[in-house]
């Protein structure tokens, strides 16, 4: 199993992909204020980290993680887990979307492509100076390491979560072939 960690500032060097090898689109300047909405998700939170979330297709009970002094109730979740799930699913969708533009075929079997995402709440609660750090482990069966890295590189350019967190959330991505 091959593995490599990619950090934001060293991404191009870590991937060892020449600019000609990846046909990246010119930098997009999407004005999110005026762009047409493709989909709108809504969630109502009651009770902060120890309450619940209601959405159109979502009913989730929240708990404060034990590491933060809470109960960490079984069967309940927290904002960091929800962010990890959303980011991982979005990133995997971006990988599937960009692969054809690179003439790379992703497996159609869901178990052949796995994105494991860890979201760390970092900083100081005492000083109310907190942020996030993300570790993503991408595992794909049936691709060479080089092709997987090309897909991940381009997915980071188009994934809405990656674009939203760019230069604000320290993110590492590890690529593994299965």
Write down all domains in the chain, each with its CATH number in brackets.
43-77 (no CATH), 78-177 (3.30.300.20)
DSSP E strand boundaries for 35-169: 43-46, 52-55, 58-61, 113-124, 129-140
Tell whether pTM > 0.85. no
The C-alpha torsion from 96 through 120 and 168 to 33, rounded to 10°, is 60
Q: Is 27 exposed, middle or buried (0-12, 13-18, 19+ CB in 10 A)?
A: exposed
Tokens of 176: 């593994």
Identify the CA nearest to 117 among candidates 88, 90, 91, 94.
88
The answer on pLDDT for 24 being more than 70 is: no
Q: What is the pLDDT of residue 155?
A: 98
| pLDDT tens digits, one per residue of 93-105 | 999 999 999 999 9
């Amino acid at each position: 199993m091959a593995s490599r960690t990619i950090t934001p500032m060293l991404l191009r060097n870590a991937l060892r992909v020449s600019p000609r090898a990846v046909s990246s689109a010119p930098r997009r300047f999407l004005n999110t204020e005026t762009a047409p909405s493709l989909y709108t998700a809504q969630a109502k939170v009651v009770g902060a980290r120890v309450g619940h979330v209601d959405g159109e297709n979502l009913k989730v009970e929240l708990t404060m993680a034990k590491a933060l002094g809470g109960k960490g109730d079984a069967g309940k979740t927290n904002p960091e887990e929800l962010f990890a799930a959303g980011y991982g699913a979005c990133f995997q969708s971006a990988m599937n979307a960009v692969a054809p533009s690179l003439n790379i075929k992703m497996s159609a079997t869901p178990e052949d492509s796995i994105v494991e995402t860890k979201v760390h709440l970092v900083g100081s609660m005492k000083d109310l100076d907190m942020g996030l750090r993300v570790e993503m482990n991408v595992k794909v069966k049936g691709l060479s390491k080089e092709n997987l890295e090309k897909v991940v590189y381009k997915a980071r350019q188009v994934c809405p979560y990656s674009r939203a967190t760019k230069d604000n959330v320290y993110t590492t991505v590890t690529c593994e072939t299965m």
